Structure 1
Amino acid sequence: MAFSSALVLTDLNDYIAPSQACVKPVEVSKSETQGPTEIKVDDEGSYYEITQDGGEEKLEKASISLDDCLACSGCVTSAESVLISMQSQEELFKILQQNKTALEQNQPQDHRTIVISISPQSRASLAAKYRLTPLQVHHRLVYFFKHYLGAHHVFDTSFTQDLSLVESAREFNDRFKRYMQNGGDALEQAMQKQDLEKAVEDGKPKVRARRRKAATTDEAPAVNQDLPMLSSSCPGWVCYAEKTHGEILPYVTAAKSPQQMMGSLVKDYFAKKSGLAPNQIYHVSIMPCYDKKLEASRPDFFLEAYETREVDCVLTTSEIDKMFHEQNLDFATMTESPIDDMFNKVGIDPATGIETSYGVAGSSSGGALEYIFASAARDLFHIQDADPTQPSARVVIKTGKNADVKEYFLIGDDGKTLLRFATAYGFRNIQNVVRKIKTGKCNYHYVEVMACPGGCANGGGQLPADTEQIVNAKDWVSFVEDLYRSSKGVKPEDNEIIKAIYNEWIIDPSSERAQQLLRTQYHAVTQNLGNPLATKW
């Protein structure tokens, strides 16, 4: 696994630890003249190098940047490391062997139904490496898991992506209405005035424009805790917020990620339909990032009544590819099996009569910004033609200082800005958003936050660039992104199966049951800076 053992703490009562004070213990420059030396640690945890003549020199600590911290996914506790160790191909093979033994010994009570759910980002990464279409990849994965390994069902996480998007849009609309009722209307008027003044200042010398901008920004009123709503499908970002910015958590959407939506669907709806208890199902999720292992391990997603997790095992794209090689299988020439399970977004294109895979419009990070933007425009402002994937007079898109920051504006008939959305990928951009929220200067209504630059197509568990074909890493990520987007976009509300399941399974979206199945909560971390080992998580 891609976890650094050097960053794992033991015997701590915590959730996710930032490796004590988020530093490597010491940084030692090897000395060629002093001979053998020793390291001493004092009561305060400082490190000293002791030379042969008794001299002491205090050693510097080597800081770890935020990018390094959460990109490595290594800051986990002993309890978490045990859970993560259970999320491996070895554990999957162990369950498969147990099933085989149960059948041979006629012990059906020990047999578990194995469900595999595949993320569209993982499909795109495999398609890029093997020069296949995402649909071809899916067919071959069905063969690999069902006919080679012995899994019983293979589902598509883009199916529950629809559920997550619908729930996120519902939450945003509710938040926006509360925001407007609790002083947001006056705040929006101040923003409109600020926009007008800025437009006037744009025609004046830059020195005066900068001075005016600073003045108006400092006078901006503080926002309430309904907006901006921040996305929650990236577990790396959620871990960072819980560890270092507990005051930001009320802004994070409570809607479950597509992975955990699938966990709810499998262990609740599918289990009941199949006449199984949740602990009789072993659910494996194929994901583009290692942090998804941490997400699946959260206590919020553990079903205490059945002593099972909603997602039992998370394997990354690279771990699946490793399994092909270890089994001496050539995925490029593997047999394709039909996709016959319900929870898949595959169908016949009525225009061509050819089988095709379906997804949602938008980026490989899940299309949340695009869907929530269009949904809010329609439901809050009765604007039907707001498509954030296509710039227009209605939708203005601006790229920030780097490609991982983009702004999306919905413009009304009178020229006023009705919605302000943005993307913030990578921790430098995330820090800017957090800083603005803390100082009451974040003017966005929604921000799609992702820990990885480039979004989920560039997840830490994805396959590396094929240097024989594409040398530039950014070009490789773009290639994977294009393959992800090649699946035909379908709005969740046009997915008849999703609507039928929602009406049968959820029934009332405002009920307590719906809250338990579709939403989650977050936990701020209380740090003890004087003694990092006493930190409570």
Structure 2
Amino acid sequence: MSSAILSADDLNDFISPGVACIKPVETLPKADDSNPYEVTTEDKAQTQNPAPASISLTDCLACSGCVTSAEAVLVSLQSHTEVLNTLDTHSSIDVESLRSQPSYSLPPDAKLFVASVSPQVRASVAATFDISERRAGHLIEHFLSGSQGLRLGGRHNSSFRYVFDTNRMREACLVLGADEVAASLTNETSPKPVITSACPGWVCYAEKTHPHVLPHLSALKSPQALSGTLLKSVLSKTLDIHPSQIWHLALMPCFDKKLEASREELTDKWWRDSQSEDFTDTPIRDVDCVITSRELLSLASARGITLSSLPTTSIPRAERQPFPDPLLSRFLLRNSPSAQRPDSSTSGGYLHHILLTEQARHPGSSIKTVRGRNNDVTDYTLTSPNGRAILRCARYYGFRNIQNLVRKLKPARQSRLPGAAVRKPGGKSAGDSVGEYAYVEVMACPGGCTNGGGQIKVEDVVESVPATNGEILQAEKKTPKNQKEWLARIDEAYFSMESEVSEKEEEDEKTESSQHNGTNGINGHTRGTPANVINDIDINEVHNILAHWSQLVDVPLSKLCYTTYRRVDSDVGKSKKEVSRMNDSTRIAAIAGLSGGGW
């Protein structure tokens, strides 16, 4: 549940609880005059000043008794402070010694630090420092793993050994997503439409308030979750270390991604063999910590590092550590950027890729676009040369638009009058529904993920960047006009698709290719054959790399790439009178309105 006005560092000490919390006050530490810890009702809270409640993100995910924004839940375990504490507490695993010396004794407290960075975060940093998205990625990598970054400080001089672009796993999500939609089109019993599940704010909302939507959600993991599963499974397998010794940090544009990382379904218990000797009953998260673009600035500031002073060129090859598996290294660390087209949205381009995939299967077809009631609602129709509709899709961004979508997805009501027709909510007939869509891309934030609540704001830039960087950055106050211009600037960076590759980078990529496989592809497959390239993504290569991953870790893709959702009852402990007076939807809508959009 995303808010554009809060960050983990802005939280006060009060959580506004629901009428009943499934984690009773009695199970929390007893309150005393000096240090009270409790979650209580609002009438009591008005007369007290409680300290932070002893509740974890996982606890709050199991209940919707509390209606609050995701970042208003205590996120102390996922913040820039936690990143620093973890780096200072644990030394880095010496991978070279681990692989080359059989007698090497692994320190018990050592960890392998890895990070994944989303393109929206790079775009936010790019706009902040007036550089390209590609150069922003280099800057972030230097900060996380380079000799001038985090390793300069801390007790152990620990830093992140591997820094990955989530675009690589986004490509896998797009290919698998298109396969999922194609399968649903041939299965008459499959719920229509398939709906995006990459937005955790939307998923939480559906699970807690509209469980009838859950059968429609795509079973695919998000790029963040898929990256976490791949890194933990492959590194633990190839290096023969326990997943708990791998610490994965994700840099994301949205606070809700912290909630996603806390889901029990996204832990090692869902893909590891429970019969293995080192299996524990305590689930190990695939993503240990999530910080946002704004928190990245806080992380650098806390370490005394000026981000703008770091190099924006590719990290030296001597400092770039090879991934243990050559084929995956070739795929994950490829220099060439993934294309982000302006017509593909700022949220990964799921709908766009599905349309292009189906268009490739229907030569001569064209895509017709019709804008809805606002910029965040758009209909897409793939039509044959004779004008026949082949495929219908839609995009719904922002909480207010999502409400309209879920109303249309409610099961049809049968009138009690004899001979009456089945009616859909809102007075529409059963034939006039979103069931005509094959796919709907849903995101909680208006404008998509580049407008996530964790992105760097205009006022943040004014405080941290010299005013000479541009007219937008000279504004002293945030106004609707300059905020709109600022978002346009982030979008421009996101869609820049800079293809500049230095001669050194190009030479390094050719060298890695010849060392890994003797070709410029995977398993002898030459990348770039027009017949299997859709939306600049080599479909065969993605399928090959996924198959290789599954074979390497000896886990089926059904466990590695897919997840499940659950209905969460939201009326725990409430009387019928209380439920009828204010249900969850009403309260959430009120909060969404106050926070200025999203939810």
Tell me the TM-score normalized by structure 1: 0.71
* Counterpart in the other structure of 2:349: 367
1:412 to 373, 384, 390: 384
Q: Specify the code of the residue in structure 2 equivalent to 1:163.
A: A
2:233 to 268, 272, 284: 268
- Describe the SS at the equivalent of 1:239: helix
**Offset, 1:242:** 0.6
Moved more, 169-178 or 119-128: 169-178
CA distance, structure 2, for counterparts of residue 503 and residue 481 of structure 1: 34
**Offset, 1:280:** 1.5
CA RMSD of aligned residues (A): 3.6
Q: Specify the code of the residue in structure 1 equivalent to 2:559.
A: Q
1:506 to 537, 550, 567: 550
CA distance, structure 2, for counterparts of residue 143 and residue 3 of structure 1: 30
CA distance, structure 2, for counterparts of residue 102 and residue 346 of structure 1: 21
- Are the structure 2 counterparts of residues 107 and 446 from structure 1 closer, same or farther at C-alpha, using a change threshold of 3 Å? closer
CA distance, structure 2, for counterparts of residue 338 and residue 303 of structure 1: 33
Gaps of 5+ in 2: 1-7, 24-40, 49-65, 95-104, 151-158, 270-278, 323-328, 411-423, 425-429, 473-480, 500-533, 585-599
1:317-328 → structure 2 map (5 Å cutoff): 317-328=293-304
1:161 counterpart = 2:140: no
- Are the structure 2 counterparts of residues 483 and 371 from structure 1 closer, same or farther at C-alpha, using a change threshold of 3 Å? same
CA distance, structure 2, for counterparts of residue 156 and residue 234 of structure 1: 18
- Are the structure 2 counterparts of residues 369 and 497 from structure 1 closer, same or farther at C-alpha, using a change threshold of 3 Å? same
CA distance, structure 2, for counterparts of residue 398 and residue 263 of structure 1: 37
* Counterpart in the other structure of 2:400: 428
User: Percent identity over the alignment?
Assistant: 33
1:112 counterpart = 2:111: yes
* Counterpart in the other structure of 2:260: 295
CA distance, structure 1, for counterparts of residue 538 and residue 293 of structure 2: 29
CA distance, structure 2, for counterparts of residue 417 and residue 498 of structure 1: 29
Q: What count of residue pairs does the alignment treat as equivalent? A: 421
- Are the structure 2 counterparts of residues 4 and 249 from structure 1 closer, same or farther at C-alpha, using a change threshold of 3 Å? farther
CA distance, structure 1, for counterparts of residue 259 and residue 482 of structure 2: 30
* Counterpart in the other structure of 1:403: 375
- Are the structure 2 counterparts of residues 283 and 492 from structure 1 closer, same or farther at C-alpha, using a change threshold of 3 Å? farther
1:383 to 362, 373, 379: 362
- Are the structure 2 counterparts of residues 6 and 415 from structure 1 closer, same or farther at C-alpha, using a change threshold of 3 Å? same
**Offset, 1:457:** 0.4
Contact 1:364 1:456 in 2 (8 A): yes
1:346-495 → structure 2 map (5 Å cutoff): 356-361=336-341, 362-378=344-360, 382-384=361-363, 394-438=366-410, 439=424, 440=430, 441-442=433-434, 443-465=436-458, 466=461, 469-470=471-472, 471-487=481-497, 491=535, 493-494=537-538
- Describe the SS at the equivalent of 2:445: coil
**Offset, 1:507:** 5.8
- Describe the SS at the equivalent of 2:226: helix
CA distance, structure 2, for counterparts of residue 461 and residue 396 of structure 1: 33
Q: Could you list the per-position Cα deviations for residues 212-242 of structure 1 after superposition, in whole angstroms to 9, with x for gaps in the alignment? A: xxxxxxxxxxxxx521111011000001001
Q: Specify the code of the residue in structure 1 equivalent to 2:562.
A: R
**Offset, 1:248:** 0.6
- Describe the SS at the equivalent of 1:358: coil
Relative to total residues, which structure has the larger strand share, 1 or 2? 1
CA distance, structure 1, for counterparts of residue 380 and residue 47 of structure 2: 54
1:191-340 → structure 2 map (5 Å cutoff): 226-304=191-269, 305-306=279-280, 307-335=283-311, 336=313, 337-338=315-316, 340=320
Q: Could you list the per-position Cα deviations for residues 61-109 of structure 1 after superposition, in whole angstroms to 9, with x for gaps in the alignment? A: xxxxxxx967x32564xxxx4xx32112222222212333999xx8623
- Are the structure 2 counterparts of residues 344 and 325 from structure 1 closer, same or farther at C-alpha, using a change threshold of 3 Å? farther
CA distance, structure 1, for counterparts of residue 331 and residue 133 of structure 2: 13
Q: Specify the code of the residue in structure 1 equivalent to 2:538.
A: D
- Describe the SS at the equivalent of 1:6: coil
* Counterpart in the other structure of 2:186: 177
Contact 1:115 1:284 in 2 (8 A): yes
**Offset, 1:322:** 1.4
CA distance, structure 2, for counterparts of residue 113 and residue 302 of structure 1: 17
1:17-32 → structure 2 map (5 Å cutoff): 25=42
* Counterpart in the other structure of 1:187: none
Q: Specify the code of the residue in structure 2 equivalent to 1:144.
A: F
- Are the structure 2 counterparts of residues 519 and 343 from structure 1 closer, same or farther at C-alpha, using a change threshold of 3 Å? farther
**Offset, 1:445:** 1.8
- Describe the SS at the equivalent of 2:354: helix
CA distance, structure 2, for counterparts of residue 239 and residue 444 of structure 1: 23
Contact 2:250 2:289 in 1 (8 A): yes
CA distance, structure 1, for counterparts of residue 364 and residue 132 of structure 2: 30
Contact 1:155 1:343 in 2 (8 A): no
- Describe the SS at the equivalent of 1:308: coil
Q: Specify the code of the residue in structure 2 equivalent to 1:134.
A: E
Contact 2:383 2:391 in 1 (8 A): yes
CA distance, structure 2, for counterparts of residue 383 and residue 495 of structure 1: 17
Q: Specify the code of the residue in structure 2 equivalent to 1:472.
A: N
CA distance, structure 2, for counterparts of residue 144 and residue 39 of structure 1: 45
Gaps of 5+ in 1: 15-23, 29-37, 41-67, 183-224, 349-355, 387-393
Contact 2:132 2:498 in 1 (8 A): no
CA distance, structure 2, for counterparts of residue 292 and residue 343 of structure 1: 27
* Counterpart in the other structure of 2:129: 130
- Describe the SS at the equivalent of 1:520: coil
CA distance, structure 1, for counterparts of residue 16 and residue 246 of structure 2: 30
CA distance, structure 1, for counterparts of residue 219 and residue 453 of structure 2: 24
- Describe the SS at the equivalent of 2:556: helix
